[in-house]
């Protein structure tokens, strides 16, 4: 085997797992962090910020985009990336539910 049995789980569980998978690599955490640090959304220099080759960064950006964690809009030759607040909401909400359920627990 090796493929995860995603068909066996609920849509919601799969959705949350996909979101977390997109955030499960330090380079992608660093990208999100960097996008939040710079003042504007015009971010053509992610490649210079991280110790990875350009194709590798492009691949990580694609995964973040596919997971709807970031959005990219074309600005001339560069691409402007920024965080998608809706997805952050979704994740925060997930932990809000966990927090709420934890309140009624023995530990």
Partner DNA sequence: TTTATATATCGTAATATTGCAATATATAAA
Partner DNA sequence: TTTATATATTGCAATATTACGATATATAAA
- Contacts with DNA, residue ranges (CB under 7 A): 1-5, 21, 24-25, 27, 43-47, 52-56, 58-63, 72, 74, 76-79
Rounded to a whole number of angstroms, the minimum distance from the CB of residue 55 to DNA is 3
Q: Which is nearer to DNA, 68 or 72 (CB)?
A: 72
Question: Binder to a copy of itself among 2, 49, 51, 66 (CB under 8 A)?
Answer: 51
54 binds, among a copy of itself, DNA, none (CB under 5 to 8 A by kind): DNA
* CA distance linking residue 23 with residue 93, whole number of Å: 16
Among residues 77 and 105, whose Cβ is nearest to a copy of itself?
105
d(CA 48, CA 5) in angstroms, rounded, equals 38
| CA pair distance 61, 35, nearest whole angstrom | 11
Q: Where are the alpha helices (DSSP H) in 1-107?
A: 11-22, 26-37, 46-49, 54-66, 85-103
CB 21 within 8 A of CB 4: no
- Please give the span between the terminal C-alpha atoms of the chain, in angstroms, as a whole number: 36
Q: Binding to a copy of itself (CB under 8 A): which residues in 56-85?
A: 71, 82-83, 85
Partner whose binding site includes residue 87, from a copy of itself, DNA, none (CB under 5 to 8 Å by kind): none
């Amino acid at each position: 085997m090796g493929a995860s049995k995603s068909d066996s789980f609920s849509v919601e569980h799969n959705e949350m797992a996909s979101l977390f998978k997109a955030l499960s690599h330090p380079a992608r955490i660093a990208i999100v962090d960097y996008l939040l640090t710079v003042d504007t959304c015009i971010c053509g220099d992610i490649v210079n910020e991280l110790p990875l080759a350009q194709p590798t960064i492009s691949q990580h950006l694609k995964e973040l985009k596919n997971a709807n964690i970031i959005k990219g809009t074309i600005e001339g030759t560069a691409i402007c990336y920024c965080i998608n607040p809706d997805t952050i909401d979704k994740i925060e909400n997930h932990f809000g539910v966990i927090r709420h359920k934890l309140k009624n627990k023995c530990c």
